[in-house]
Amino acid sequence: MLSFEKARTTDKDRITLIQSCNEAEIQAAEVRQSLCRELREAIAQTKVEGVHRCSSNVACCTVPISEIAKRGFCLTASHYLSERQADAVFTELSKAKTMQSLIGKAQEMCRTKRADRSVTLNRETIEVLLQFLADAGVAVCAV
């Protein structure tokens, strides 16, 4: 009879622990999504010197040749348009299922200077990511 009581208490404790873990995971997911949205906003507000949108279409812009030369002759509009940079970073970071994974993805982006296969990150975006990592207390290798 005593062992049954002990098992019952253990089951109650286990259920409480499972519920607490579930709540913690929900809160962690909310924090990750909030961080992704904050990073998206911060990146979207960055500006590349001399870049002007051709229209409301964010995939079209004019860039001075001098700026293109400074940036290694990258000719893709997504490299110069902050909204495209922000969307690419947000899309990739939003896939993270843990905070450790999110930080790892941000570190990888800084290291490779790419959000994904098609978007090369510009200096302004990398600076935002580096600041995020520094604020998180994460050591970052020189880029």
| pLDDT value at residue 52 | 84
8: pLDDT confidence band, cut at 50, 70 and 90?
low
Q: pLDDT for 92-134, tens place per residue?
A: 999 999 999 999 999 999 999 999 998 999 999 999 999 999 9
| pLDDT value at residue 138 | 86
**pLDDT over 90, % of the chain:** 59
| pLDDT value at residue 142 | 57
Residue 2 has pLDDT above 60, yes or no: no
Half-sphere exposure in the Cβ direction for 16 (13 Å, CA): 6
Q: pLDDT for 50-97, tens place per residue?
A: 888 887 765 788 888 998 898 888 888 889 999 999 999 999 999 999
Residue 13 has pLDDT above 80, yes or no: yes
Q: According to the 3-state scheme, what is the secondary structure of 3-52?
A: HHHHHHHHHHHHHHHHHHHHHHHHHHHHHHHHHHHHHHHHHHCCCCCCCE
Q: Domain-by-domain residue ranges, the chain? A: 2-43+81-135
Residue 73, by phi and psi: left (phi above 0), alpha (psi -120 to 50) or beta? Answer: left
